[in-house]
Structure 1
């Protein structure tokens, strides 16, 4: 991937990972979004529906469709939040907990496979670079960087 832009590499890699997870999920009549939702819902306490979108980085409309599909398949149930009558808590059913384990094992399998082929040092560098990129974006330092890029990047790297 030499001579490719950083955003191209990130996008191409994420698309490959996404495609791989969706192919695996398809074997179980599911999607990557379903698997990710299963992993994002607290096994015992349930999770407020309003917390799931931000946790998963998903838009409300996409999340609504995913949750509706999961409810139709018997993976989740929705119950009123006893602490906030306006809110809804999402709970995993026993079937949902079973499928959650499958999703968890799939993710762990992926991580284990990658770690077999990449040194711990390179993995740590990758994580550090990804964290810096995320911080630059969150702090809106990408397109405003002409003013203070050197100082901001130095601050981030010293974390």
Structure 2
């Protein structure tokens, strides 16, 4: 393909970022999904398990597997939600807090490297383009049966 499609550029970039994050996480015997979950859990109040999936954009099955592995590694613990006896809050253990800080550092280091290599104007353009694509996809206008 002489010209790369927008889809190709998005997938190739995200796959490269995913690989990079998984390599970094692997240094701590972890994964990108675990790091993302650690960052998504409120370190003070905990987070309802039902809120994590939508927050992370993960399917329930994948999230359940990730949380099970995190619990086995001593990163999290499940506690009954005092406000709703039917639900469970996911809390970080001390080790989980430590790994959360490591994960945040990895993300911030990536962010700083990108900011150092790309002008502020280009970053703002990228954000506008990415938000427009997200809006197009979220609004389901791309493959709508109605003519635009």
Task: Give the distance between the partners of 2:135 and 2:145, measured in 1 at CA.
Answer: 13
TM-score w.r.t. length of structure 2: 0.96
Query: Matches of residues 102-141 of structure 1 in structure 2 within 5 Å?
Result: 102-141=102-141
Residue 2 of structure 1: CA displacement? 7.1
- Structure 2 gap segments, 5+ residues each: none
TM-score w.r.t. length of structure 1: 0.90
Residue 82 of structure 1: CA displacement? 1.0
Task: Give the distance between the partners of 1:14 and 1:39, measured in 2 at CA.
Answer: 19
Residue 145 of structure 1: CA displacement? 8.1
Task: Give the distance between the partners of 2:34 and 2:145, measured in 1 at CA.
Answer: 37
Aligned length: 148
Task: Give the distance between the partners of 2:2 and 2:14, measured in 1 at CA.
Answer: 17
Residue 143 of structure 1: CA displacement? 1.5
Task: Give the distance between the partners of 1:112 and 1:74, measured in 2 at CA.
Answer: 30
Give the secondary structure class of the aligned counterpart of 1:45: coil
CA deviations over 1:48-76 (Å, ceiling 9, x no partner): 00000000000100000100000011100
**Displaced runs of 4 or more, over 3 A:** none
